[in-house]
Amino acid sequence: MAVMSATIGTAACKCSCGSNAGKLVDDRFPKLDAIIAKYKGKPGALIPVLHEAQQLFGCLSEDVQDRVASGLGISPSEVYGVSTFYSFFTLRPRGKWKIGVCLGTACYVRGAAEVVEALKKELDIPVNGTTKDGRFTLEVVRCLGACGLAPVMMIGDDVHGRVRPEQIPEILKEYR
């Protein structure tokens, strides 16, 4: 039993969220097991387990999903289905700063698509991509409820309104 625990504890996360690095890996899988144990047998356990697993690992990689499935005694496909259904779960690591550009109607007609293009160029990533340094993830979102400021983008919790493509390098400087 002790041997099995040691083996499980050194399992490496395959998602490039930094969890292939030695001790960190050892620490997180046993923590995930404790999270699973906390919710196991309770109704609706899967979603809170996935929430805490994502906080712990930064994303729900395949091996994290597998661990949750075996821990809760459910199928990996059920875990995968829930992980991909809700937009607040991610299978890939996100950057430190999540950039969300609104492509709702008001923002779109005021040039949000050009803002997206400027961000793609400046960060050298596609939509849903993360920069190599792990600093930024670029996403497009629906109406943020600030249509009067269109086009709108969010960086973390900061709202940037009436954004023009040429302002992007200057705006990103604050977050680099």
Give the binding site for ligand FES (CB under 6 A): 102, 104-107, 143-147, 150, 152
Judge contact between 35 and 47, C-beta under 8 A.
no
Pick 132 or 162: Cβ nearer ligand FES: 162
**CB 58, min distance to ligand FES, A:** 27
C-beta of residue 72 within 8 angstroms of C-beta of residue 40: yes
- CB 90 → ligand FES: shortest distance, Å? 22
Q: What is the largest CA-CA distance in the chain?
A: 62
Which residue's Cβ has the minimum distance to ligand FES? 104
Q: What is the H or E stretch that residue 20 is in? A: none
CA distance 166 to 171: 10
* Cβ nearer to ligand FES, comparing 56 with 143: 143
Residue 45 or residue 115: which is nearer to ligand FES going by CB? 115
